[in-house]
Structure 1
């Protein structure tokens, strides 16, 4: 009788793609809900309803070479490798994220800037490059963390920084230790913003404008976009974002998913991407044509916000932009009562 051998696999890493539109309860952050409520919301959560997760061809080839596997989960995806596998320390694995729910762009913050494709040529027209503007790259080499020890959380987004003059509406920024968000485009005067939390360090590191990398233009290309992604042959043109994971990180080994010998860790890291739900001014419109506006932008969430200010109806999923010249002055969600 032929002998059968079982190969032992261990978790290489897990990536959780958590969207606060589906997980927050009105103004209450998911992380601050009771444990039982968090568990219930996660049971109903399915990232596959709005994002399609696909490894690049190069990543599939590398995983196969290592005998590794990956699988989608309701909250993201997970990768596993044989316990005796040895990965090169500079191994890079990539997954593209494609939006499959059109409403995603209505309830997700920081999705107003167009992700247009630009074709550029070298000065002698011998080589063509394709770029896609405003594509975020979520990476364990540049991600930020919160907490320490067993309570350390690993985010694939860059740290949220102070406000930049080029930041537009919905940009997240740190101001005096607080987490803030622009509520209008900057026009040269004092910026219009909300303080979301007085202690930014107590909040998750949300996906933010700093996740869109600066473009290093190839030699001879002078008209590349300033920020975005060079589209390699195995990257689809319709991607919304890219998850890029490297086996080791020199300045913080908590973000590494193999040891110095290239073997999987005893407990693979869990990485998180946190998509911020949109905040908008709520405009209630009565049957008689009367209108009233909320006193500040309010969060759009699947759970819990229909009763804010005593109103019985939730805001519309579609958000309208109000303009002041060429600048966006407000994001408005209408509610017919």
Structure 2
């Protein structure tokens, strides 16, 4: 085999792990864009150091070692990405003010297709989806970086303790201890159960159709009928968040009135149902990107609505149209 063919085979082998590595780095970093940067850095480092790869471990293990080191380096700055509800208390609508925080603060949404590899086992698929939920990834961000890596590798990716110990250059005892501490910490912030996005679930599809009809019709009675009583609403990059029907409706009929007349386009994000929200265009024609809405659905109702307002940042990532015509 020629050197060129060997190089092509190695490059193909590296690329075959890109999606699962992106999912791993996303869980570590809480940012879709930083995860892609981390994976690109991983690939570059791997390519430059291929002569050092002696085959004593699998190519996959070697790549995860590099990716882990890249993520740990990126996390040394000490920034922890979070959701608004991780930083402040819920605000009564009468006191609500929009205060933006820097982009680096916020946990970011991610398209399922960029981080979830195709797996045949439905149980594995469920674990993968659950482990990229916004609430779960936010809980991960509370863990020290190495505990975070251990928990993801052991609990999400099902690595053996000995494999994780080798990757982190530590002992099995240290890995087990870190996992125990991580589990205890995560239990304090454990997110409630939710229903994953499932296009084959007829009941969920009916719920989402009713949500679209209520939102596009700006019918607050119909909308709140779909929400749990303690449902939450957040709007990164603003640190404001609201809880309960009265405050959500108060906001939607106050400052949020600008959302009247919007159009919603379905997508999926973080293993959950999501929508691209398009706002009536300022020129009076068509619809412009406004927000990416990620929903948390549990027991047949909506428990959370997270509006990521920097639409021009998110829509290209999700492959969404730049604009909708009036006929769409």
- Give the TM interval when normalised to the shorter protein: under 0.3
The structure whose RCO (Cα within 8 Å, separation 6+) is larger is 1
TM-score normalized by the length of structure 1? 0.24
More helix by share: 2
